[in-house]
Amino acid sequence: MAVSMKKHQNKIGRTGADIIFDAFNLFVWLVILLVILYPLWLILIASVSSHEAIYASKVWLWPVDFSLIGYEAIFHHSLLLRSYLNSLIYTVAGTALSVMATMMAAYALSRKFSGKAFISLYFLFTMFFSGGLVPQFLMNRQLGLYNTVTLMIIINTISVWNLMIARTYITSSIPNELHEAAVVDGAGHFTYFFRVILPLSGTIIAVLCVYYGVARWNDYFTALVYIRDELKLPLMTVLRRLIVEATAGTSLDALMGFFGDGTQVSDAMRKAEVVKYCCIVISTGPIIVLYIWMQKYFVKGVTIGSLKG
């Protein structure tokens, strides 16, 4: 009876203005959703359409003259599969290292100790000021890291922004009483960190994995500067080279050789349009899957980042 009366009251409480507002609100968000999704859909259908249809601007809603010529051209490139493996190694190993280093530094900054303010300021200073690319390049070369896999994994290990987020999470979400109880039981900092902090930090660890993983997967500039061995290049750097070779027009021989099928110049330039879309699909596909899989942690990550102290 009470449930029935409550439903009746809710129906009476909704006015015509409420219904109009809800309809308008729904319409606005549907338009925003369409604006966001349509470019992604257009790229996907263009990647499987014929180059003639794309060149003639016939691709709008559905694939036209279904064709996989762009993907065939890319996957026949000798460096692509190796670069995919390289990117997976750099992303997984680098993200694991970054998350562990960030959590350890965040835990240290969450404790009270002499000189904490100075060390925190030191970290924040590097967030706004740096020596620049040339000093960094010279330093890494002096350390013997130039053209090595190690550099691709350890470079940019800690983001100060992510460090502040992790520190805020530890100080606001994990009671200090747990540390006091662990100390009474004879636990040291390492025992407390690995047995208490990490198991209770699943949310922030997931957020950091997304942030660091996306940054490392999309990074092409580091390899462009430091890597000269083609077998060590990541996917993004190779895809950038493919797009340049296929669309720059600076070398017609390179453009025609890219397809390797006796393609004429005019036809090769049309096929290059498909290659651009295929490169976008290949490079963004894993990241989109990662975002969908980890989306439940995004709101928590934004909320954590809104609190400083």
CATH level 2 (architecture), domain 74-305: Orthogonal Bundle (1.10)
- Over residues 46-57, the pLDDT tens digits come to 888 887 777 777
Q: What is the pLDDT of residue 144?
A: 92
8 A C-beta contact, residue 271 and residue 256: no
Report domain extents, the chain.
2-68, 74-305
In order of 46, 53, 72, 138, 268, the CA distances from 65 in angstroms are 10, 7, 16, 52, 17
Place of tokens 């040291």: 188
In order of 91, 95, 169, 201, the CA distances from 99 in angstroms are 12, 6, 14, 11
In order of 38, 84, 207, 210, 292, the CA distances from 288 in angstroms are 15, 16, 15, 11, 6
Phi, psi angle pair for 62, to nearest 5°: -135, 155
- Over residues 215-241, the pLDDT tens digits come to 999 898 999 999 998 889 998 888 787
Tell me the two tokens of residue 18. 């409420």
Considering just the CA atoms, what is the radius of gyration of the chain in Å? 26
Closest CA to 202 of 169, 179, 172, 175: 169
Q: What is the pLDDT of residue 291?
A: 75
Q: What is the 8-class DSSP label of residue 196? A: I
Q: What is the pLDDT of residue 158?
A: 92
Q: What is the pLDDT of residue 308?
A: 47
Q: What is the pLDDT of residue 92?
A: 92
Q: What is the pLDDT of residue 252?
A: 47
Closest CA to 90 of 284, 235, 269: 235
Widest CA span in the chain: 81
Give me the residues of the chain with pLDDT under 50, please: 1, 3, 250-252, 262, 305, 307-309
Residues in Cβ contact with 64 at an 8 Å cutoff, skipping those fewer than 6 apart: 49, 50, 53, 58
Confidence (pTM): 0.74
- CA–CA separation, 43 and 88 (whole Å): 24
- Say what angle helices 202-218 and 298-305 make with each other, to 10 degrees: 100
Q: What is the 8-class DSSP label of residue 173? A: H
Q: What is the pLDDT of residue 13?
A: 66
